[in-house]
Amino acid sequence: MARVRELKKREPPHTGLLNRARTLIERREIETRDVKPDVLEEVEFEERFSEIDDGDEGILNQDFKANPVLMLSQILAGIGSIQRGIEAPYLAFGILRDLLGISAGALLLPDHADETLVPFCCASYDFDTQQRLKITPSQLHALPWNGLIDVAEDVDKWRPFFSIRESEIFGTLFVIPCGSPEEGLVVISQSPLLNVPSSQLELLQTAIGSALGKMLLYNRGTMLVGIKPLFLISRPEFPAYLKKSMDNEKSLILGLPKVQLISAISNGAPGAIPGRLERDCLRVLGSIVHDEGAVSMDEQHFYVIFEDIAELDAQILMEQLEFSLQQAFSTQLPDLDFHRFTGEDLQNLGKKFRAS
């Protein structure tokens, strides 16, 4: 905590935290000010679509009731309108689900802890499939992951990643890599899209995949630069860390009801898996607290612990935490109610974790 004490001598007490809040803003503005997703590429794809014979194949599917060029334009416009924020991929999947009529599918992104692709959003998949649909880098190289997958042997390679019930439903998959497969995959097992002529599917996959890859990089990736799970305390470790902080009169222990954050974000992103949203929120909190403390969570709350606030103003710290969270998400968040645990309230918290 030497660095914290040094800040106290030279700067207002909340400056260190405020600087990290500003860092979140800079990631949204400065690092990307000269680079924008080139959604204007839709013009190129529209020209390529126009070269396809209109005939019966000029309509994707009667369920869409739209020309493929128009639908592609709507999708790219929707993805291009997503603002920079941690929840960007959840919003993108909602756009794809609605415009592509996805009744069963998922968006897979790299896990926080490693490079395994895991579901961040899904439509209709049961819990077993959500647990199975995790693809390691070595498994990815052995899977067909580019476009329409309709050869029985290739489809069978995907079945182990689905529950028995789900795997018996589909005979064809459509997979869209988000720029590159390592950065993410959209896996679709039920949609009118599966009945679209292959010549149009290839163009749709290329255009949508390119837009998704750029969106993930510029709208989410830049926000996650430097955010690592180094300051996150796992639930089994939290009781010991909490006890240590309770014995320290200079510590600050805060709780934030999960529902305040998760509900606000998920309302605009149906299909988001709550556990992934929770981990995203936890990562943002961890990046703000940095090495001055730690963060963790249980079923009801996010917990933020500052090891040594000494003469720092607790109210200002809570305000800066709320401000920083708002900068990390494009969704307008409600006023957040950080609760400071003290006295009997703190003792009850300690008993709760000792009993767990």
Whether residue 34 is contained in a domain is answered as: no
Burial degree of 256 (CB within 10 A; 0-12, 13-18, 19+): buried
Q: Are residues 211 and 232 in the same domain?
A: no
Whether the per-residue pLDDT at 38 is higher than 50: the answer is no
Q: Residue 9 carries which side chain, given as an amino acid letter? A: K
Q: Residue 240 carries which side chain, given as an amino acid letter? A: A
73: CATH: 3.30.450.40
Domain boundary among 180, 205, 222: 222
Rounded distance between C-alpha atoms, residue 321 and residue 301, angstroms: 15
Whether the per-residue pLDDT at 356 is higher than 70: the answer is no
Domain boundary among 189, 222, 255: 222
Q: Residue 229 carries which side chain, given as an amino acid letter? A: P
Q: Are residues 143 and 235 in the same domain?
A: no
Q: Are residues 205 and 234 in the same domain?
A: no
Q: Are residues 71 and 16 in the same domain?
A: no
Confidence at residue 4, expressed as pLDDT on a 0 to 100 scale: 32
- Most confidently modeled range among 24-33, 68-77, 141-150, 238-247: 141-150
Q: Model pTM?
A: 0.79
Q: For every residue of 327-339, which 3-state class applies, written as one string?
A: HHCCCCCCCCCCE
Q: Are residues 20 and 108 in the same domain?
A: no
Domain that holds residue 10: 2-29+226-355
Q: Which pLDDT tens digit goes with each residue over 257-271? A: 988 888 888 887 778
Q: Are residues 140 and 189 in the same domain?
A: yes
Q: Which pLDDT tens digit goes with each residue over 158-170? A: 999 999 999 999 9
Q: Are residues 234 and 203 in the same domain?
A: no
Total domains, the chain: 2
Rounded distance between C-alpha atoms, residue 152 and residue 340, angstroms: 58
Q: Are residues 195 and 309 in the same domain?
A: no
Domain boundary among 222, 248, 283: 222
Q: Are residues 111 and 164 in the same domain?
A: yes
With cut-offs at 50, 70 and 90, classify the pLDDT of residue 153.
very high
Nearest by Cα to 352 from 298, 295, 286: 298
Q: Are residues 72 and 183 in the same domain?
A: yes
Tokens linked to 72: 């592609």
Q: Phi first, then psi: give them for residue 213, nearest 5 degrees.
A: -60, -45
235: CATH: 3.30.70
Mean pLDDT of the chain: 78
Q: Are residues 13 and 48 in the same domain?
A: no
